Every structure is written in C-alpha cells, then in structure tokens.
C-alpha cells in the first residue's frame, strides 16, 4: 500500500504517518513548514519517521507545486495539511487560510482523481458547526461556521463532496473536535496551560472559562484515520470524531492543578472572536461505519500530555519541586 500523508510534520499528521508506516510499502510525507509555529518543533515531530526506510519527505507547498507526479501510484491520501487555529483567522491573515485550506485541498483533490486514488481522507473540523442550534450535533446539523477558519474548513469539506459526487472519488471528511495529547500545537489551550503550569507562568483564560469542548485525544484521531483508510464508505461521507470527554476550560484547569508542580496562576481576559460556547458531537455514524469509539478519557489523556511536556521541559524544571500528584477525577464528568 502506498500512502500520501500531507501535513506530515504537524501535530496530527506526524502521528497518523507513524501509525500507518508499519503497513506501508511506501509512505510519502508532504509538508511546507508553515510559520504557524517554529520549524524546530515540526522537525522534532518528524524524528521517528525520518529513520524509516519506507518513509520519504517532500518539502512542497500543496498550493503551488505540481502534484500529478507526487500523487501518481498512491493508493490512499490522508490530507492533514492545513492552517489550523480559530482565533488568528480574522483580518489580513484570512487569505493564507484560503490558500492553505481551500486552494491546496482543491489542487490535491484534482490530482487524486486524475491518479485514481482509492481513498481520500480529509481532516475537517468541529469548527464547521459554529454555535449549534442543539446538542449533541450530528453530521446532518446545518453547518454555521463562527470563524473565518471554520468557513475554510467547510469549503474543503464541500470540495471533497463535489469531487465524490461528480467523479466518484472516495472521499471521507473526519470532523475532529479539539484534539490534544503529545505534540499538541503551541497555540492550543492545553499546550499553553501545561507549559505555564510547569513553569509557574501565567495562564490566560478567554472569557468566562465556561466554554465547553468535546476534547479528543490524538490517539483516537489517529485510529479514526487508520480505520477510514479501509472502511466500506459511500463517497463523500462526513463523520464526527469526538472524544466524549466534554469539559469546560475551568474544569480542565482544576484537573491540571493536580498534575503540575506549581500552583496555577490564572488571569481572566476577554472572550475571543470566533470562540464558540460549546462543542459536543454525536459519533454514532463513526461507530457504525468505522467501528470507532473514543478510548482515551480526559483524565488519562491530559496526564499523557503533561508527561510529554515534562520530558521537553526537563532542563527547565530541574531543581524545582518535583510534584507528582494523583489527578482529581471528580472535577470532570
């Protein structure tokens, strides 16, 4: 089996690629190292992959490169590349979101249909829902993105649908819900909270902290991708992939307080444009069609992320109190 994983240097793409590699004749990874966070972190994500003989990395921009030759002979595309992040997508930054999330997706779909790719998996997002009319949201709920980022992710999904409907390309869009765990992007909440908690630095909570997310551990997202490469699916399918660990930001901080050495220094700042009040998914379709259910709960999942940060921060933390605590499981549902 020949796989193409885009966004392979990223938080999710690198872990999807690592899990597919043992079953791959060849796995081609694509990344252009966007500047959303330092290249050094993306190089760290690639470290395990680079040592494997059936892995190769192409440093190209999907929005500009000639893709025909790259996709030729590929069986399965896992399109994880994109410009993520809800809050920076306003203003002048928007055109980059369009290039990386819409133009790049259309160019890759075009190459995939010409090459006769057997399955095209697209990394979609809970941000397509916006503030939903009712919860939990099923895939049939009317998408009403609340941020420019969400608009671009929905456009990518609709492109997958159009290529499926017109050309029979076997696309599947996986709507991930706020993914966390080892290697999480440095702009995301848990990454910031854990690093600040370990260093005794200030945590900024946007708005009341009562906003709820259906947090999803990266291991569950990876497993959904692996299952989606082979499952029997109608072309153009859309599936929610959510962790089943609904919690608000304040309760996450209560849980984190038991896992880090210093007391948390929390400051309250303004609500951010684009931030929805709640995400909460119905995942019956993923269960039915992929045989997928989430397996990592928030307590164990957050502990896995804290362990990853502690390893990274070891030199900084050396000499401080080494607080090993038991998590307080009562603070999250």
Q: Does 46 bind ligand NAD (CB under 6 A)?
A: no
- Which residues are CB-contacts of 64 (< 8 A; sequence separation ≥ 6)? none
SS3 state of residue 299: helix
Binding-residue total with ligand UGA (CB under 6 A): 20
Shortest Å, Cβ 202 to ligand NAD: 23
Measured from the Cβ of residue 138, the count of other Cβ atoms closer than 10 Å reads 13
Site for ligand NAD in 291-320 (CB under 6 A): none
Phi, psi of 94 (to 5 degrees): -60, -35
Smallest distance, ligand UGA to C-beta of residue 289, A: 21
Own/partner pairs for 316-324, CB < 8 Å, 24+ apart?
316/198, 316/199, 317/198, 317/199, 317/261, 320/261, 320/262, 321/261, 321/262, 322/261, 323/260, 323/261, 323/262
Nearest 10 degrees: Cα torsion 94, 96, 98, 101: -120
179 near ligand NAD, judged by CB under 6 A: yes
Site membership for ligand UGA, residue 86 (CB under 6 A): yes
Q: Which of 16, 30, 76, 299 binds ligand NAD (CB under 6 A)?
A: 30
Cβ atoms of 169 and 113 closer than 8 Å: yes
Site for ligand NAD in 62-81 (CB under 6 A): 62-63, 80-81
From 43-51, 62-70, 161-169, 202-210, span contacting ligand UGA (CB under 6 A) = 202-210
Instruction: Kindly state the number of chain residues that form the binding site for ligand NAD, as judged by CB under 6 A.
Output: 31
Which residues are CB-neighbours of 56 under 8 A, at least 6 positions away? 26, 27, 28, 29
What H or E segment, with its residue span, contains residue 214? strand 212-217
Does 240 engage in binding with ligand NAD (CB under 6 A)?
A: no
Of 149, 163, 176, 180, catalytic: 149
- Taking the complex as a whole, the smallest distance from the CB of residue 140 to ligand UGA amounts, in Å, to 18
Among positions 1, 2, 44, 61, the unique one binding ligand NAD when judged by CB under 6 A? 61
Nearest approach in angstroms of CB 318 to ligand NAD is 28
Annotated active-site residue 149? The verdict is yes
> How many whole angstroms separate alpha carbon 200 and alpha carbon 24?
43
What is the C-alpha to C-alpha distance for residues 273 and 248, in angstroms, rounded to an integer? 18
Q: Which partner in ligand NAD, ligand UGA, none is near 12 (CB below 5 to 8 A by kind)?
A: ligand NAD
| Of residues 241, 259, 239, the one with CA closest to residue 157 | 239
Applying CB under 6 A, which part among 28-36, 43-51, 161-169, 206-214 lies near ligand UGA?
206-214
Q: How far is Cα 132 from Cα 146, in angstroms, rounded to an integer?
A: 10
Interface with ligand NAD (CB under 6 A), residue from 3, 5, 13, 70: 13
Give the bridge partners for 4, in sequence order: 28, 77
In whole angstroms, what separates CA 60 from the centre of its chain? 21
Nearer to ligand NAD, 223 or 317 (CB): 223
Q: From the CB of 66, what's the least distance to ligand UGA, in Å?
A: 28
With binding defined as CB under 6 A, does residue 246 bind ligand NAD? no
Chain contacts with ligand NAD (rule: CB under 6 A): 6-7, 9-13, 30-34, 36, 42, 61-63, 80-84, 100, 104, 123, 125, 153, 176, 178-179, 185
Chain contacts with ligand UGA (rule: CB under 6 A): 84-86, 125-127, 176-178, 188-189, 192, 204-206, 211, 213, 249, 272, 275
Active site residues: 149
């Amino acid at each position: 089996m020949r796989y193409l994983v885009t966004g392979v240097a990223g938080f999710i793409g690198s872990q999807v690629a690592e899990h597919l590699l043992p079953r791959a004749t060849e796995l081609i990874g694509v990344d252009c190292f966007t500047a959303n966070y330092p290249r050094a972190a993306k190089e760290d994500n690639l470290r395990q992959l680079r040592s494997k003989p059936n892995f190769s990395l192409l440093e190209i921009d999907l929005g500009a490169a000639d893709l025909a030759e790259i996709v030729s002979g590929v069986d399965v595309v896992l399109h994880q590349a994109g410009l993520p992040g809800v809050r920076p997508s306003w203003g002048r930054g928007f055109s980059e979101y369009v290039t990386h999330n819409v133009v790049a997706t259309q160019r890759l779909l075009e190459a995939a249909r010409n090459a006769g790719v057997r399955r095209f998996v697209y990394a979609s997002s809970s941000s397509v829902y916006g503030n939903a009319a009712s919860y939990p949201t099923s895939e049939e709920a009317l998408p009403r993105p609340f941020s420019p980022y969400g608009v671009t992710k929905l456009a990518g999904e609709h492109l997958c649908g159009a290529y499926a409907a017109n050309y029979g390309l076997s696309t599947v869009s996986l709507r991930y819900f706020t993914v966390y765990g080892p290697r999480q992007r440095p702009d995301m909440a848990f990454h910031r909270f854990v690093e600040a908690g370990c260093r005794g630095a200030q945590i900024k909570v946007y708005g009341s902290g009562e906003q709820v997310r259906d947090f999803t551990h990266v291991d569950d997202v990876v497993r959904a991708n692996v299952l989606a490469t082979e499952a029997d699916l109608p072309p153009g399918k859309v599936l929610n992939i959510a962790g089943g660990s609904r919690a608000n930001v304040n309760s996450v901080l209560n849980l984190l307080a038991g896992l880090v050495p210093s007391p948390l220094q929390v400051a309250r700042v303004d609500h951010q444009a684009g931030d929805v009040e709640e995400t909460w998914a119905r995942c019956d379709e993923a269960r039915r069609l992929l045989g997928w259910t989430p397996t990592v709960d928030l307590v164990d999942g957050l502990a896995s992320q804290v362990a990853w940060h502690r390893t990274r921060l070891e030199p900084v933390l050396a000499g401080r109190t080494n607080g090993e605590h038991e998590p307080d499981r009562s603070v999250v549902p």
